[in-house]
Amino acid sequence: MGDIASLNPERTMDLSRREALRLGLIGAGGILLPWPGGDSVRADQPCPEGVACLSHDPHELAGPYVPTRISPQIPRFERPFEPLLVRSGQSVATDLDAYKITMQPGSVEIVPGKSTSVWTYDGTMPGPCIRQQKGRGSVVRFVNQLQDAAGIGVSTSIHLHGMASLPQYDGYAEDLIPFDHYKDYYYPNDKAGPFWFHDHAIGHASRNVYMGLAGMYLVDYDHCDFLDPTQAERLPSDAFDIPLLIQDKRLDADGQLIFNDNLQRSLYGDVMLVNGVPWPRLAVKDRKYRFRILNGGTSRVLNLRVMASFEGHFMPLEMVVVASDSGLLPAPVPTATLRMGVAERYEVIIDFTGMAGRQVYLNNPIQAVNCDADLRSTSLLCFDVSSGPADTTPLPESLGRLTPIDRLRSEVRRPVRTFRLDRLGNQWVINNHRWDPRRIEARVGPCATEIWRFINPGGGWVHPLHVHLGHFRLLSRNGVTPPAHEQGMKDTFYVGDFETLDIIGRFGPHEGRYMMHCHNLVHEDHDMMSQFEVGNGGCDPCGAPARPLPEPSSFDEPIGIPDHECSTNDDGRICL
């Protein structure tokens, strides 16, 4: 694969850390209008009726779900929206771009006037947004300089969620980068979509992601992704194409993050951040925008809707979904609400035409499944609409090319595989098993097409189930065809209480061991994660171990094409 390019990573960093690309129109921040009837859901309100906030499992002895503490008051819709800092790579070979990202402590301001300690990719929370051209590989050097408040090194592993990476670059939970080590992750970028990278360290992903280790990674669609490439231009782009990374956090009186997973059940924050800013205000023009939305929280399910204010009343605005987790839908799908479990992504169009002079809210009504009576505001983001040039471009009529479901079904050669998602004692399990790196839950033929069934037998909880490597389609939920926006390419599936989902997909192109797990990160850590193996060989997920940093000050190892050779290690050892 071409010649190894030698490049000083410090220089790469300088060149690739371009000026913050102003994707959005920075909020004017001037006028502050109260949200009429806003904050109507107060911290002290009980759960909606019929929602058990007690421990859901009758066999469980642990006490009630007690929200840790209420975060300090933070004014809503005053802080200007901040676009993600977009990074593009440094070309180091004809088909390869290099990036370097350092994991290190940092601080942000969430509570006015207080500095919150966070863990960052390159100093920001969330991390930079990598914007990558499809068809060019990338190598991201993740350097671990992360110590906790006590000065103890934090081990990390990075998963690029949505990418079909080789096993040794997939962020296998046990393939850790210790403090003062680094690892080069190679990504093929052979598929476009709204992906994201986040920590995946065994047993600590929930804490590490919550502390800040998450960022978006967008691979741009090309003409091959569109059924009719001429329609691609009809999607809003550039300044009208804005990533929104939504997370919930909980803070103490000093503004420090509280990580409390409620006896390994779940963690719900009461401060809603969009791109790291609490309840921001975004100035937009009266036209169509495209938002690439990621639920990057820990446990919270979002159920988004858009509400425009009209003389003290609110009118719902439609969202039009154009893409899901891993690619374009076949055609735009209008919807009034968009439910998003943790790690799910949707690209949506919101049309602010006719809204000049008004406020429009991205709203998230209280969700019974979250058990979050202490969430104090149901809106996340306020759009301040002003008038601009008329937007006459119609939405595309068609979007992506998808394999017909019938064709996928005709490729299936074996019975449906079943995965039961349970609570056992005070652990979360898949088919009654906790995570065990030596155990393989399913052996799948190379590039085989299979139907997998996820069963949530009930208990009051939701499992957003994520399968690595593949891109899948949801066939049914409780035997019923899902809504159209859930029928596109996906890698994370909302498995609600008492729900059974069937998904179909091809397992490839790589062989080897890959994880599947609940993406409620607390469930994932304790211990709703297992693995499947594609083929009988493939690369060892621990086959490209992290390397020690030579001397941090003089660190200039070239970033180039990683060694793709597989080492043969089949003893299932734990990687560190």
What is the contact surface with Cu ion in residues (CB under 5 A)?
A: 463, 518, 520, 523
Name the 3-class secondary structure at 395.
Answer: coil
User: Which residues in the 156-185 window bind ligand C2O by CB under 6 A?
Assistant: 159, 161
Which of Cu ion, ligand C2O, none lies near 322, with the C-beta cut-off 5 to 8 A by kind? none
Is there binding between residue 468 and ligand C2O (CB under 6 A)? yes
Write the single-letter amino acid at 289.
Answer: Y
Which of ligand C2O, Cu ion, none lies near 468, with the C-beta cut-off 5 to 8 A by kind? ligand C2O
Write the single-letter amino acid at 431.
Answer: N
For ligand C2O, give the closer residue by CB, 462 or 515: 515
Q: Which of 183, 204, 290, 466 binds ligand C2O (CB under 6 A)?
A: 466
Total residues interacting with ligand C2O, rule: CB under 6 A: 10
- 302: enclosing H helix or E strand: strand 302-310
Q: Residue with CB nearest ligand C2O?
A: 161
For Cu ion, give the closer residue by CB, 271 or 518: 518
With vertex at residue 430, the alpha carbon angle to CA 425 and CA 436, rounded to the nearest 5 degrees, is: 90
Residues 6+ apart with CB under 8 A from 354: 286
For ligand C2O, give the closer residue by CB, 485 or 519: 519
- 159: enclosing H helix or E strand: strand 158-161
Query: What is the rounded CA–CA span in Å between residue 19 and residue 85?
Result: 8
Which of Cu ion, ligand C2O, none lies near 466, with the C-beta cut-off 5 to 8 A by kind? ligand C2O
Query: Which residue, chain included where needed, has tokens 């505001």?
Result: 377
CB 538 within 8 A of CB 169: no
Which of Cu ion, ligand C2O, none lies near 463, with the C-beta cut-off 5 to 8 A by kind? Cu ion
Which of ligand C2O, Cu ion, none lies near 161, with the C-beta cut-off 5 to 8 A by kind? ligand C2O
CB of 427 to Cu ion, least distance (A): 11
Annotate each residue in 332-371 with x if it binds ligand C2O (CB under 6 A) or - if it does not, as one string: -----------x----------------------------
For ligand C2O, give the closer residue by CB, 200 or 249: 200
CB of 303 to Cu ion, least distance (A): 17
CB of 70 to Cu ion, least distance (A): 25
CB atoms under 10 Å from CB of 366, counted, come to 16
Q: Which of 345, 376, 517, 523 binds ligand C2O (CB under 6 A)?
A: 517
Is there binding between residue 463 and ligand C2O (CB under 6 A)? no
Annotate each residue in 408-447 with x if it binds ligand C2O (CB under 6 A) or - if it does not, as one string: ----------------------------------------
- 281: enclosing H helix or E strand: strand 281-285
Q: Which stretch binds ligand C2O (CB under 6 A): 309-317, 417-425, 512-520, 537-545?
A: 512-520
Is there binding between residue 198 and ligand C2O (CB under 6 A)? yes
Residues 6+ apart with CB under 8 A from 326: 162, 191, 193, 195, 471, 489, 490, 491
CB 420 within 8 A of CB 430: yes
CB 328 within 8 A of CB 235: no
Annotate each residue in 199-228 with x if it binds ligand C2O (CB under 6 A) or - if it does not, as one string: -x----------------------------
- 474: enclosing H helix or E strand: strand 472-477
CA distances to 108, 133, 157, 523 from 205, rounded to whole Å, are 21, 28, 9, 10
- 419: enclosing H helix or E strand: strand 417-424
CB of 523 to Cu ion, least distance (A): 3
CB 132 within 8 A of CB 218: yes
CA distances to 364, 485, 489, 516 from 419, rounded to whole Å, are 30, 24, 20, 10
Is there binding between residue 141 and ligand C2O (CB under 6 A)? no
CB of 310 to ligand C2O, least distance (A): 39
Query: What is the rounded CA–CA span in Å between residue 273 and residue 247?
Result: 5
- Rule CB under 6 A: which residues touch ligand C2O? 159, 161, 198, 200, 343, 466, 468, 515, 517, 519
